[in-house]
């Protein structure tokens, strides 16, 4: 079984500030972890993923995330927010070869000028 | 550029109608999925398919069925549309390649916003 908890359904930051979106997961097998971004009226787009190897992974648009097994976390960060980062972000976990992902409820990021 | 194409962006149907939502992918992916997305509820899995003619129920299959006659096409069917099926529907696909089925992540379509009146 697998599950994802995203802490905070809404996060608001000022332009240029640090972005931190929190994700905790549970999985009965070594997890694959993903962050997706969804802009209004669009589908989801893969931002970054952790499968094996380096625990700090970099994605598109300057985002990165760190896999911390001991904390069962995969938080998403960006050093400096841009207005174009305003969107909804989803964390997801997939276990083993099944290929089926479980998604969190999403976090809406607002960026203030 | 790899694509998942959903046939309609916006759809309005009447209660009781049979509704077909179509999804086509051009990446030769084995796995295809249908989710619905509602505010505050995230993405909920309706049905998925690992191969042609194979289907498995997700978390909320009631009131829906699916068809996968060809590898590239996965159809979601609302047998008798109801107002509580008004939602955004998202299709996704992924590759199983080399036993790494869970590792590739999904490619999503743009979504179909269905309104049942």
Say whether residue B31 is in contact with chain A using an 8 A CB cutoff.
Answer: yes
Taking 50 as the pLDDT cut, the residues of chain B under it are: 98
Query: Can you give the pLDDT at residue A96?
Result: 56
A74 contacts: CB under 8 Å, gap ≥ 6: A23, A24, A25, A33, A35, A50, A65, A66, A67, A68, A91
Angstrom distance (rounded) from CA B101 to CA B94: 7
Say whether residue B4 is in contact with chain A using an 8 A CB cutoff.
Answer: yes
Query: Can you give the pLDDT at residue A28?
Result: 78
Chain A CA closest to residue B34: A100
Query: Can you give the pLDDT at residue B101?
Result: 54
Any idea what DSSP says for residue B105?
Answer: -
Q: What percent of chain A has pLDDT over 70?
A: 96
CA separation, residue A99 to residues A30, B74, B109 (Å): 13, 16, 17
At residue A1 the predicted structure's pLDDT band, cuts being 50, 70 and 90, is: confident
A77 pLDDT above the threshold of 80: yes
């Amino acid at each position: 079984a697998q599950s994802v908890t995203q802490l905070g359904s809404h996060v608001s930051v000022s332009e240029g500030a640090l972005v931190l979106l929190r994700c905790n997961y549970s999985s009965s097998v070594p997890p694959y972890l993903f962050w997706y971004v969804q802009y209004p009226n669009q589908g989801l787009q893969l931002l970054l993923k952790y499968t094996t190897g380096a625990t700090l992974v970099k994605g598109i648009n300057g985002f990165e995330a760190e896999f911390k097994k001991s904390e069962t976390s995969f938080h998403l960060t960006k050093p400096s927010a841009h207005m174009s980062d305003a969107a909804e972000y989803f964390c997801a976990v997939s276990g083993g070869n099944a290929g089926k992902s479980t998604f969190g409820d999403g976090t809406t990021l607002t960026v203030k000028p | 550029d790899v694509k998942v194409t959903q046939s309609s962006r916006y759809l309005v149907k009447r209660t009781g109608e049979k509704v077909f939502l179509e999804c086509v992918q051009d990446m030769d992916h084995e796995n295809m999925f249908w989710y619905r997305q509602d505010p505050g509820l995230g993405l909920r899995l309706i049905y998925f398919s690992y191969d042609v003619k194979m289907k498995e129920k997700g978390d909320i299959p009631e009131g829906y069925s699916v068809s996968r006659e060809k590898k590239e096409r996965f159809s979601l069917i609302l047998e008798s549309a109801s107002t509580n099926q008004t939602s955004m529907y998202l299709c996704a696909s992924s590759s199983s390649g080399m036993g790494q089925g869970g590792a590739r992540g999904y490619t999503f379509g743009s979504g179909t916003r269905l309104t049942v009146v």
